[in-house]
Amino acid sequence: MFELFGHTADLGVRVTGASREELFAEAARGLATLLVANLETVRPVETRTLRIAGEQDDYLLLDWLQELLYLFETEHWLCRESQIRFAPGEMTAECRGEPLDEQRHCLGYEVKAITYHQLAVRQVRDLWKAEFIVDI
């Protein structure tokens, strides 16, 4: 005998920015806030440059967030802030942060993946908006 029941293992994030660059930086900050509950304790002492190839904003956002999650999972590196630049077919991010320090950083959610479900990036008048779902 078995029983089906509803179970929510996802968390949605809505992001707004005055520009596409600000939107992507805010999305990274949103992800970092999920990973560590006290983002203000992450010091921007180390810089990493990430390049993401792609044309479509929604897929660029997904790849960007997946790259940040990969850095956290494999190197325990947290991005505190980022500066984004777009060029044809590519996004470049200068990320500032530091490795996880369990003495100062309080872990938040265990994010397993950034999903395609309800992934959206759009410009609405003078604002950029995005939504993405993380599997926790």
Token pair listed for 3: 């029983």
The answer to whether the CB of 123 falls within 8 A of the CB of 10 is no
Residue 89 placed within a domain: yes
Residue 83 placed within a domain: yes
pLDDT of residue 10: 82
pLDDT of residue 50: 97
Instruction: Name which of 65, 55, 70, 71 is nearest 25 in CA terms.
Output: 65
Reported as a pLDDT band with limits 50, 70 and 90, residue 133 is confident
Q: Which residues pair with 50 in a beta bridge?
A: 93
Residue 4 placed within a domain: no
- pLDDT of 130 strictly over 90: yes
The residue with tokens 């190197």 is 75
CATH number (domain holding residue 51):
3.55.10.10
Residue 2 placed within a domain: no
Instruction: Name which of 6, 55, 30, 7 is nearest 132 in CA terms.
Output: 30
H or E stretch at 93:
strand 90-99
- pLDDT of 30 strictly over 80: yes
- pLDDT of 4 strictly over 50: no
* Domains: count for the chain: 1
Residue 128 placed within a domain: yes
pLDDT digits (tens, 9 = 90+) for 87-124: 999 999 999 999 999 999 999 989 999 999 889 999 99
Residue 22 placed within a domain: yes
pTM of the model: 0.91
Domain that holds residue 46: 11-135
Q: How far apart are CA 40 and CA 80, in angstroms?
A: 8
- pLDDT of 38 strictly over 90: yes
The residue with tokens 């904003």 is 57
